[in-house]
Amino acid sequence: MWDIQISRKAAQIDLASIMEKEVWKIVKHLLEILLCCATLCLSTALSQDSAASRSTTCGWVGLSLGPTAGSNFDGFSGGITLNFLKDTRILSARLLYAEKFATATVDGEFSTASAKVFSVSDAGLLYGLAEKTKFFLLAVSGGVGYVWGRTDDRYPRPYFGSLALPLELQIGFTPMKPFGICAYVFANLNFHSSFFGTMVSIQIGKVQ
């Protein structure tokens, strides 16, 4: 009888794991489409006559929250970014933190024991291209960074760190001069555990 109950619970966990993987596949495809569309729009905007573009100088702080996925890590992330925009160039500094989702174990309790990576942090300095109108922002940037985190204590080295290549895409709506909201897509390519995600970001500062 106990074997039957354990088997049922294991089957439910397997089904939930399969559904989670399928959801992340859909999310990955949507992000790929979003990145392609944004890159195309940005290239078209920047190819226009520069004389027709008005001079723009903005600076803001971004507070972000959203889901994260990686090669051996699925979780939820939050972060803060500092951004300075001048005409069609943007300089950003970011600090992100992601924690793995809790997953159900056979006994029905929730834990992160099945994860290879428990948490990961990202610090980076990025530079890129941007197109800013009064009410909209589109920016793509990349740079240099460092990633560090914590794995299962059963591994020989429970803490890790690595140089990284941070990337990001910002699509923002700025209805007021001191406030905006942004769809923030990010990635971190590194030698230990590369990951990407999408967050909703609140922009506070001079955004028009």
Compute the distance between CA of residue 73 and CA of residue 176 in angstroms, rounded to an integer. 37
Q: What is the tens place of the pLDDT at every residue in 40-96?
A: 555 555 455 444 445 788 999 999 999 887 766 678 889 999 999 998 899 999 999
Question: Is residue 162 pLDDT above 70, yes or no?
Answer: yes
**Which sequence spans correspond to the domains of the chain?**
2-206
pLDDT at 139: 93
pLDDT at residue number 102: 54
- Asked whether the predicted pLDDT for residue 179 surpasses 80, the reply is yes
Among 173, 170, 184, 172, residue whose Cα is nearest residue 139: 170
Most confident range (mean pLDDT) of 25-34, 115-124, 177-186 is 177-186
Residue 105 has a pLDDT of: 46
Instruction: Give the number of other CB atoms < 10 A from CB of residue 33.
Output: 10
SS3 helix, strand, coil % of the chain, rounded to 5? 25, 55, 20
The domain 2-206: what is its CATH number? 2.40.160.20
User: CB-hemisphere CA count at 13 Å for 21?
Assistant: 8
| Confidence (pLDDT) at 24 | 56
pLDDT tens digits along 102-133? 554 445 444 445 556 678 899 999 999 998 88
User: How much is the average pLDDT of 144-163?
Assistant: 80
